């Protein structure tokens, strides 16, 4: 007698669920092993290989997980690899944190994380401009006007919430920065 469709499909679906759990566990064990290895000798290249070996949704989750649990590492989309953010700073891998929360659980927790407005548009003096000034790069435009804008932005960035509210006035919602 031939098996029904449900009898044929159900074990296959159960196998996918089982392989999914095994897959997530394998990825986590690789991350832990590479973190331990990188903490010992500084070689984190296998993290890039892992990120490039998984699907695009998992890649985003794993990249964010790794960046969140390290210091001085970021993902470079052009090279499709992790790179140091500052060459002179040392690397730090938070092995204790990844032992507590797996990448998959962390991704679920941070899935609907609200956007932090304070980090969305950071305002600070331009370090790149300072470096260009030091090297003698030629500029066009009004230097005095640029310095005034830069000082105004620095003042705005240093204001407290109450000072910003007073500055914006009662119609904070209708504030049009472009006007």
Note the pLDDT tens digit of each residue in 89-125.
Answer: 788 888 888 889 998 888 888 776 666 655 555 555 5
Who has greater pLDDT, 174 or 9? 9
Provide mean pLDDT across the span 114-142: 65
Who has greater pLDDT, 107 or 88? 107
Q: How confident is the model at residue 174 (pLDDT cuts 50, 70, 90)?
A: very low
Report which DSSP code applies to 110. T
Tell whether the model's pLDDT for residue 24 goes beyond 70: yes
The rounded mean pLDDT for the chain is: 80
- Partnered with residue 71 across adjacent β-strands are 92
Residues 6+ apart with CB under 8 A from 165: 172
Tell whether the model's pLDDT for residue 48 goes beyond 80: yes
**CB burial of residue 2 (10 Å; 0-12, 13-18, 19+):** exposed
* Model pLDDT, residue 95: 87
* Model pLDDT, residue 179: 43
139: region left, alpha or beta (phi > 0 left; psi from -120 to 50 alpha): beta
Structure tokens at 106: 């962390």
Tell whether the model's pLDDT for residue 149 goes beyond 50: yes
């Amino acid at each position: 007698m031939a098996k029904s469709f449900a009898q044929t499909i159900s074990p296959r679906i159960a196998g996918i669920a089982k392989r999914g759990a095994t897959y997530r566990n394998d990825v986590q064990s690789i991350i832990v092993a590479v973190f331990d290895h990188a903490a010992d000798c500084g070689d984190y290249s296998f993290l890039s290989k892992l990120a490039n070996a998984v699907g695009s949704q998992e890649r985003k989750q794993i990249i964010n997980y790794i960046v969140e649990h390290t210091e001085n590492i970021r993902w470079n989309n052009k090279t499709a690899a992790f790179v140091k953010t500052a060459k002179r700073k040392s690397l730090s891998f938070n092995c204790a944190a990844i032992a507590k929360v797996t990448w998959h659980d962390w991704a679920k927790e941070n899935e609907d994380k609200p956007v932090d407005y304070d980090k969305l548009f950071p305002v600070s003096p331009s370090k790149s401009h300072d470096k260009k000034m030091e090297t003698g790069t030629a500029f066009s435009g009004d230097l005095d006007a640029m310095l005034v804008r830069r000082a105004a932005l620095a003042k705005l960035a240093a204001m407290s919430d109450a000072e910003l509210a007073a500055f914006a006035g009662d119609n904070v919602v209708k504030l049009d920065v472009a006007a």
